[in-house]
């Protein structure tokens, strides 16, 4: 082929290619391999050998909670089991677990609803305004969380914006509450507000239920107005006072 190069230029080019490692002439015209279509054979998927896709296992949070709660042999172990429970969405939005406060082994156990902002911050139930009212109510019948009352909530994590707990959240955490009561072994249970009534008695209607003894979790249980409700409706304190006297009469064996 006529290249238009003189002998010396053609020879210099050839020597340069040999220096680069070219050993054979395979064509007269240069080939831009980057511009060619990709003809690399694709690896074939072996049809028969493919594993059947695994079905995602459905986890029942209530069953997981039951197993975790039953495995706890002490209040400390229960706290750890609740802290390790990852299936309740509320945990993601809360600062920390709010487990309990007060005196272990007390005759009276109080069950509130869920932590609010202050409780979420301090890690203890009933430390905000409602908690201060609760302390004053208890003091009226010689009860004191540092001496003779044990306090917890249905839910150990603060719901976002203090929204009402959802029924599925109450149901999911109920095995932990049941175990909590069994391990704390109180003589009587005081359940404050509708969420506690739902969790312990399986029904709502605090205005109708308050002040009347029921039997649940193998214990006498008395529903009362929630102190946060009494802060909004102070005229209801009269009924709350009557319920406290009822509780006191029971404790004094009258």
How many Cα atoms are found within 13 Å in the side-chain-facing hemisphere of 137? 31
> In this chain, which stretch among 109-117, 142-150, 183-191, 231-239 interacts with ligand URA, using CB under 6 A?
109-117
Q: Give the chain's end-to-end CA distance (angstroms, integer).
A: 123
Tokens found for residue 91:
């945990």
As measured in angstroms, the least distance from the Cβ of 244 to ligand URA is 17
Alpha carbons 196 and 202: distance in angstroms, whole number: 9
Our finding on whether 101 is near ligand URA (CB under 6 A) is no
Measured between alpha carbons, how far is 122 from 24 in angstroms, rounded to an integer? 82
Min separation Cβ 138 and ligand URA, Å: 14
DSSP symbols for 118-141: HHHHHTSSS-SHHHHHHHHHHHTT
According to the binding rule CB under 6 A, does residue 135 interact with ligand URA?
A: no
Least distance CB 211 / ligand URA (angstroms): 19
Minimum CB distance to ligand URA smaller for 123 or for 220: 123
Q: Which stretch binds ligand URA (CB under 6 A): 58-66, 84-92, 113-121, 163-171?
A: 113-121
Least distance to ligand URA from the beta carbon of 239, Å? 18
Parallel, antiparallel, or unpaired for β 101-102 and 149-153? antiparallel
Q: How far apart are CA 67 and CA 61, in angstroms?
A: 10
- Single residue of 125, 156, 175, 186 touching ligand URA by CB under 6 A: 125
Is 228 one of the binding residues for ligand URA (CB under 6 A)? yes
Near ligand URA by CB under 6 A: residue from 61, 102, 112, 165: 112
Please give the Cα distance from 70 to 223 (Å, whole number).
26
Residue with tokens 């709660």: 69
Q: Which is nearer to ligand URA, 145 or 179 (CB)?
A: 145
Report the alpha-carbon distance of residue 67 to residue 75 in Å, rounded.
15
Cβ at position 99, least distance to ligand URA in Å: 11
Between residues 60 and 83, which has the closer beta carbon with respect to ligand URA? 83
Residues 153-172 touching ligand URA, rule: CB under 6 A, are 153
Rg of the Cα atoms in the chain:
36
85 binds ligand URA (CB under 6 A): no
Residues near ligand URA, by CB under 6 A: 112-116, 119, 125-126, 128, 130-131, 153, 228
């Amino acid at each position: 082929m006529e290249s238009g190069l003189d002998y010396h230029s053609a020879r210099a080019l050839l020597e340069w290619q040999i220096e680069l490692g070219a050993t054979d002439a395979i064509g007269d015209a240069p080939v831009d391999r980057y511009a060619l279509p990709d003809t690399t054979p694709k690896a074939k998927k072996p049809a028969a050998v493919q594993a059947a896709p695994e079905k995602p296992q459905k986890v029942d949070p209530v069953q997981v909670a039951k197993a975790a709660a039953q495995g706890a042999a002490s209040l400390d172990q229960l706290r750890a089991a609740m802290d390790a429970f990852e299936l309740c969405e509320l945990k993601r939005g809360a600062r920390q677990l709010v487990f309990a406060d007060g005196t272990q082994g007390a005759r009276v156990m109080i069950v509130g609803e869920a932590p609010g902002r202050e409780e979420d911050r301090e890690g203890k139930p009933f430390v905000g305004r409602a908690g201060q009212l609760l302390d004053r109510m208890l003091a009226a019948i010689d009860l004191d969380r540092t001496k003779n009352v044990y306090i917890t909530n249905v839910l150990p994590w603060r719901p976002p914006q203090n929204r009402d707990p959802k029924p599925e959240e109450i149901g999911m955490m109920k095995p932990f509450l049941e175990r909590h009561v069994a391990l704390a072994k109180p003589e009587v249970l005081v359940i404050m507000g509708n969420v506690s009534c739902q969790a312990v008695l399986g029904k709502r209607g605090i205005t109708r239920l308050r002040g009347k003894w029921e039997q649940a979790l193998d214990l006498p249980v008395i529903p009362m107005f929630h102190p946060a409700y009494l802060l909004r409706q102070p005229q209801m304190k009269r009924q709350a006072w009557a319920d406290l006297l009822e509780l006191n009469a029971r404790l004094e064996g009258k």
